[in-house]
């Protein structure tokens, strides 16, 4: 049995993560950490599962890695810059393993994979994401990661983003305009819209219930036991073919 401490255990995602751990015969739920927990709380667990806040996450993750814990990160905010810094930390620590999962939902991972495939073939692309009103960060971590992967798939050739300096045109992430909605009645939704000559391709994904994260959380737990170094994305764990960088 591997014991797992959960940072953010009382949150919307954290409480689901705790349920999945408790239901899994190979894992035991350890400390359930909140912002009130001291730095040493949960240090005895083999695995630290971080689902806290974008602000707290980097400190929580680095501390866990430096004390030899394997780490799963579901918290948003891990943009390319943060991931580069994390990779530096991981390389300093022999045997370190961290798995960063921007989205645990299989449908979302598939949608982002399809967007990566389409990216080189369309001259313009924009992302519209919608989330519940309690979400503290925007754009969403999934949208940031999707935009970065689209840019990488285009090999540095930025999409057309006319008049992008106007606030209503969204926030440019890796050259891709991203538009964020925060609405009562929504859990999570993302649309990637590709524009070509006389046509628009829309790749859309809806999260109707947080149950959609269960299978991905389980897969991440099973993968972290043999992971090495920094791994980003559930696609790597599930063996979904991906091309290009990152
Ligand atoms: N990868 C994925 O598939 C998904 C990722 N997310 C991401 O997960 C994160 C959490 O989302 P959600 O559960 O909705 O948010 P919540 O606000 O419901 O939960 C966050 C929890 O973190 C706790 N927390 C805050 N600071 C710390 C700290 N320093 N140490 C430990 N715990 C802390 C808070 O508790 P308190 O302040 O009481 O301590 C709170 O319970 C977000 O970044 C979100 O974007 C969400 C859904 C899916
Ligand atoms: O806060 C959320 O709810 C979610 N956060 C993640 C993100 O920022 O992409 C994943 C999912 O969209 C739900």
pTM above 0.80, yes or no: yes
Q: Which has the closest alpha carbon to 66: 86, 36, 38?
A: 86
* Ligand whose nearest atom lies closest to the CA of 132: 2
Question: What residues act catalytically?
Answer: 131, 135
* Ligand whose nearest atom lies closest to the CA of 205: 2
> Is 112's C-beta closer than 6 angstroms to any atom of ligand 2?
no
Give the bridge partners for 100, in sequence order: 73, 232
Cα-to-centroid distance, 197 and ligand 2 (Å): 32
* pLDDT tens-place string over residues 150-200: 999 999 899 999 999 999 999 999 999 999 999 999 999 999 999 999 999
Closest atom of ligand 1 relative to the 102 alpha carbon: 1
Q: Tell me what pLDDT residue 246 has.
A: 54
Cα separation, 147 vs 153, whole angstroms = 10
Contact status, residue 194 vs residue 142, Cβ threshold 8 Å: no
Neighbours of 132 (CB within 10 A): 14
Cα separation, 161 vs 172, whole angstroms = 9
Q: Tell me what pLDDT residue 242 has.
A: 80
SS3 (DSSP) at 30: strand
Contact status, residue 146 vs residue 112, Cβ threshold 8 Å: yes
* pLDDT tens-place string over residues 201-216: 999 999 999 999 999 9
Q: Tell me what pLDDT residue 244 has.
A: 57
Q: Tell me what pLDDT residue 178 has.
A: 98
Residue 87's alpha-carbon distances to 78, 90, 112, in angstroms, are: 12, 5, 22
Residue 146's alpha-carbon distances to 73, 106, 129, 223, in angstroms, are: 17, 14, 11, 22
SS3 (DSSP) at 53: coil
What's the start-to-end Cα distance of the chain, in Å? 32
* Ligand whose nearest atom lies closest to the CA of 74: 1
Cα-to-centroid distance, 136 and ligand 1 (Å): 9
Cα-to-centroid distance, 37 and ligand 1 (Å): 14
List the chain residues with pLDDT less than 50: none
Cα separation, 202 vs 243, whole angstroms = 21
ipTM over 0.85: yes
Cα separation, 24 vs 19, whole angstroms = 9
What residues does ligand 1 touch, defined as CB less than 6 Å away?
7-8, 10-14, 33-37, 51-54, 56, 60, 74-76, 101-104, 141, 213
Q: Tell me what pLDDT residue 156 has.
A: 84
Average pLDDT over the chain reads 96
* CA angle in degrees (0–180, nearest 5) for 147-246-144: 25
**What is the biggest distance separating any 2 CA atoms in the chain, rounded to whole angstroms?**
59
């Amino acid at each position: 049995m591997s014991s797992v401490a959960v940072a953010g255990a009382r949150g919307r995602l954290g409480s689901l993560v705790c349920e999945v751990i408790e239901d899994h015969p190979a894992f035991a739920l350890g400390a359930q950490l909140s912002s009130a927990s001291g730095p040493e709380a949960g240090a005895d667990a083999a695995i630290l599962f971080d689902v806290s806040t974008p602000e707290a996450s980097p400190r929580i993750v680095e501390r866990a890695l430096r004390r030899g814990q394997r780490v799963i990160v579901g918290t948003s905010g891990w943009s390319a810059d943060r991931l580069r810094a994390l990779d530096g930390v991981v390389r300093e620590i022999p045997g370190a393993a961290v798995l960063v999962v921007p989205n645990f939902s299989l449908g979302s991972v598939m949608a982002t994979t399809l967007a990566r495939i389409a990216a080189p073939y369309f001259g313009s692309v924009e992302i519209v994401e919608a989330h519940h009103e309690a979400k503290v960060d925007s754009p969403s971590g999934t949208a940031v990661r999707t935009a970065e992967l689209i840019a990488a798939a285009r090999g540095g050739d930025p999409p057309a983003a006319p008049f992008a300096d106007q606030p209503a045109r969204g926030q440019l992430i890796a050259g891709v305009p991203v538009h964020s909605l925060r609405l009562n009645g929504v859990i999570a939704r993302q649309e990637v819209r590709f524009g070509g000559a006389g046509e628009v391709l829309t790749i859309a994904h809806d999260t109707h219930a947080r149950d959609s994260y269960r299978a991905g959380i389980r897969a991440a737990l099973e993968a972290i036991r043999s992971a090495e170094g920094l791994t980003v994305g559930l696609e790597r764990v599930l063996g979904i073919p991906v091309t290009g960088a990152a």
